[in-house]
Amino acid sequence: MVLRAIITSQQQQRRHGVEDEEEEEEGEEEDLERGGGDRKKARRRARPWWMLVVAGLFFGGSAITSRAEAPPSSYQKPVVAFNATGVENLVMVAGHAVTITESLNGVDRNDRHWYLLDYQRGKDLPGEFVAHVRKGVEMAHEDERALLVFSGGQTRSDAGPRSEAQSYYFIAEHFGWWGHPDVAARTATEEFARDSFENVLFSLCRFAEIANDTYPRRVAVVSFDFKRRRFADVHAKALRLPNFRYVPMNPHETNPESRFDRREAEDGERRTLRTFLRDPFGCGRVLARKRQSRDPFRRSVPYGPRCPAMAPLLTHCGPTASFNHTLPWDNTS
């Protein structure tokens, strides 16, 4: 059918060739008079239809396919205005790693999305990190007076100046807050903590910054189950938190087939716990050196001037019993 149309068209072109040439010349002259001066444009307009058919057969198919397969316009995330008015309680999710890829598709499954140390690879940790984020979001959704804080600084030089806290925030955003977009308006980041004690300490100050110098009535912390003693028996007691709740996350409950090595994790935790028992404020040689190694970009902790009621706590170094200053949450019931 196409060849027959082409032959017929060629015969018509021979019959009316003079007319076509005259029309083409007129078109060129009109373009020149308009200032276009583009003979190629004139020829394209005068080109017979059968040439367009042939061009379509050879080139049009790919053009049509590319239009059909073109990705939709980028999804625009809804903007949720931050509004933490009336918050009374704190839900803190302690960060453990930094994301290093722009796309977060598969961030709950693939190590490549995360900056992980060698001993952390191949342990199904991405799914566990995302589970911590989701747990914090769900807890904040259940408590409309809770401020959700993701805590963790820029701890890895090879990962660049990306913070653990911001990585967790972007994960929550990537998953659409698991159907709870209301939580986004009550979520903040704390991006200076270098260890678990600072996760709690600095998040208390972030709460005060946001809640007009008031402090939380209740504090809940989400982290690994094997770190319960460190948070509940050491950090919470050193900070004299009256209403503290620890929310343990078990990797093998999150994923029954997880390759997470619990024995290895518990061995490492026992060593860290002993260090914090000797040095609850983390200012001794061992923990101070670890903090320094987790601050490769040499960022200055800003919380002293911002939370004057916590100033003695932020600068204290020594055993828990030696801290006898009044704290803003001492009379919280």
Query: Can you give the pLDDT at residue 81?
Result: 87
Contact 136, 93 (CB under 8 A): yes
Token digits of residue 249 = 């996350």
Query: Can you give the pLDDT at residue 332?
Result: 76
Angle formed at CA 126 by CA 121 and CA 132, multiple of 5 degrees: 135
Query: Can you give the pLDDT at residue 100?
Result: 97
Residue by residue, DSSP assigns 17-60 as HHHHHHHHHHHHHHHHHHT---HHHHHHHHS-HHHHHHHIIIII
- Nearest Cα residue to 168 out of 143, 140, 204: 140
Query: Can you give the pLDDT at residue 199?
Result: 98
Query: Can you give the pLDDT at residue 333?
Result: 65
Tell me the β-bridge partners of 232: none
Q: Which domains does the chain have, with CATH numbers?
A: 89-322 (3.40.50.620)
- Nearest Cα residue to 146 out of 135, 160, 132, 158: 135
Query: Can you give the pLDDT at residue 79?
Result: 62
- How are beta strands 187-190 and 146-151 bridged, if at all? parallel
Angle formed at CA 216 by CA 210 and CA 218, multiple of 5 degrees: 145
- Give the pLDDT of the chain (333 residues) as one tens digit per residue: 444 444 444 445 444 443 444 444 444 433 333 344 444 433 444 445 444 444 444 444 433 333 333 333 334 465 678 988 999 999 999 999 999 999 999 999 999 999 999 989 999 999 999 999 999 999 999 999 999 999 999 999 999 999 999 999 999 999 999 999 999 999 999 999 999 999 999 999 999 999 999 999 999 999 999 999 999 999 999 999 999 999 999 999 999 999 999 999 999 999 999 999 999 999 999 999 999 999 999 999 999 999 999 999 999 999 888 899 999 999 876
pLDDT digits (tens, 9 = 90+) for 222-251: 999 999 999 999 999 999 999 999 999 999
Query: Can you give the pLDDT at residue 77?
Result: 62
